[in-house]
């Protein structure tokens, strides 16, 4: 779908009331509701639950906790930053996490064990970012249960599995869920395609679920926890792309801020909600920017920048698709990593839920 049509549809989804789009697409939403209702009924049957237990045992995952990160809406709400924060927390507790993901937007269809040089077109931009940022094993497959089994076969030290964007993938058993919302909440409250919801809105969260708001205040009726988030600084794309990762330097950001007063920085973001990134650049750092939204999950291999641009700043999600530009002539490209911390109450509840698996001592935790 073109960027223009994406924007038109999303305006209808996030409009507080009815729109011509939502009214026209409502009959299709009824079909989606019927499909979801049938799937929910089948999965609630005792034989289906027993089958899940047996599939988990057969895959060798019965002794390995599975944590799912996801949301109820289409598009980004902060799942990837939440997944990274969860990985970091697990490492501080002495766990050895691995990640499974669908790999949305990739061209490949088979199972992919992600490495630092795996093309984003083969594994997906978000799985590649998760691997490069965290260093943990990541396996991609449409069947997340098969991906989890393969992950453990290839990386036997993995003792907890994190499923990125796996909330609706009910074939994958789970021991806890992190459900993420941003400031947009559930939009107009309609199910796809009339609205952004992947499933009908329930009155209460599912069992063993923690709700995290990637926002300044709760944006749905569900009780939840506010995440702490901020941009960590800027790193040159060639430095960010190298195997020797370096933390952002304050003087680099200061120089960029100074230049932006006379030559605004081109801010490019291929996100479901790019305005959130643009606003953080302005409010947190006071950067003078020119907005340059890109389609979410788009292939950026043929991307060109407007004439006269000296500096470009991008998200890490886009940086994984721009690494080939690190050594080519053109404007200076800067990457702005996002730091995201789990709320203390979420960490405490997860620690309690993970106790049956006899977690490793935090004395062996990763630095």
In the chain, the largest separation of any two C-alpha atoms, in whole Å, equals 67
279 belongs to an annotated ligand binding site: no
Strands laid side by side in the 289-293 sheet: 235-236, 332-335, 311-314, 265-269, 289-293
Q: Are 316 and 261 in contact (CB under 8 A)?
A: no
Tokens 């507790």 correspond to: 93
- Three-state secondary structure string covering 94-147: CCCEEEEECCCCCCCCCCEECCCCCCHHHHCHHHHHHHHHHCCCEEECCCHHHH
Residue 135 Ramachandran class (φ > 0 left, ψ -120 to 50 alpha, else beta): left
Q: Are 101 and 124 in contact (CB under 8 A)?
A: yes
74 belongs to an annotated ligand binding site: yes
DSSP string, 217-261: S--SSS--EEPEEEE---EEHHHHHSSS-----HHHHHHHHHHHT
Q: How far apart are CA 227 and CA 342, in angstroms?
A: 6
- Backbone phi and psi for residue 167, each to the nearest 5 degrees, phi listed first: -60, -40
Q: Which residues contact 110 (CB under 8 A, 6 or more apart)?
A: 141
187 belongs to an annotated ligand binding site: no
76 belongs to an annotated ligand binding site: yes
Q: Which residues contact 157 (CB under 8 A, 6 or more apart)?
A: 96
Q: Are 177 and 70 in contact (CB under 8 A)?
A: yes
| Pairing mode, strands 332-335 and 235-236 | antiparallel
SS3 40: helix
Q: Which residues are annotated as a binding site?
A: 73-80
Q: Which residues are annotated as a binding site for ATP?
A: 73-80
């Amino acid at each position: 779908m073109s960027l223009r049509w994406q924007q038109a549809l999303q305006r209808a989804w996030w409009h507080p009331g009815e729109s011509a789009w939502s009214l026209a697409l409502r009959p299709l939403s009824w079909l989606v509701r019927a499909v979801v209702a049938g799937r929910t009924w089948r999965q609630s049957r005792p034989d289906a639950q027993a089958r899940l237990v047996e599939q988990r045992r057969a895959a060798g995952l019965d002794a390995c906790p599975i944590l799912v990160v996801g949301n109820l809406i289409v598009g980004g709400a902060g799942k990837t930053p939440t997944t990274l924060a969860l990985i970091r927390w697990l490492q501080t507790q002495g766990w050895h996490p691995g990640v499974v993901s669908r790999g949305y937007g990739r061209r490949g269809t088979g199972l992919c064990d992600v490495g630092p040089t795996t093309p984003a077109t083969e594994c997906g931009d978000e799985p590649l970012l998760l691997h490069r940022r965290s260093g943990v094993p990541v396996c991609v497959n449409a069947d997340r249960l098969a991906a989890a089994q393969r992950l453990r076969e290839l990386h036997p030290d993995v003792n907890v599995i994190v499923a990125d964007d796996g909330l609706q993938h009910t074939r994958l058993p789970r021991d806890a869920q992190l459900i993420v919302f941003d400031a947009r909440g559930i939009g107009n409250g309609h199910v796809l395609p009339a609205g952004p919801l992947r499933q009908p809105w329930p009155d209460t969260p599912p069992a063993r679920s923690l709700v995290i708001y990637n926002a300044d205040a709760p944006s749905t009726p569900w009780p939840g926890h506010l995440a702490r988030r901020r941009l960590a600084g800027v790193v040159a794309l060639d430095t960010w792309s190298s195997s020797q990762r370096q933390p952002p330097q304050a003087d680099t950001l200061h120089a960029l801020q100074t230049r932006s007063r006379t030559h605004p920085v081109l801010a490019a973001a291929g996100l479901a909600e790019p305005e959130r990134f643009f606003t953080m650049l302005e409010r947190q750092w006071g950067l003078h920017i020119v907005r340059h939204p890109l389609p979410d999950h788009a292939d950026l291999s043929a991307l060109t920048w407007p004439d006269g641009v000296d500096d470009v700043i991008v998200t890490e999600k886009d940086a994984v698709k721009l690494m080939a530009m690190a050594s080519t002539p053109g404007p200076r490209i800067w990457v702005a990593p996002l730091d995201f911390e789990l709320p203390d109450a979420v960490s405490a509840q997860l620690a309690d839920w993970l106790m049956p698996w006899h977690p490793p001592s935090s004395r062996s935790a990763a630095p």
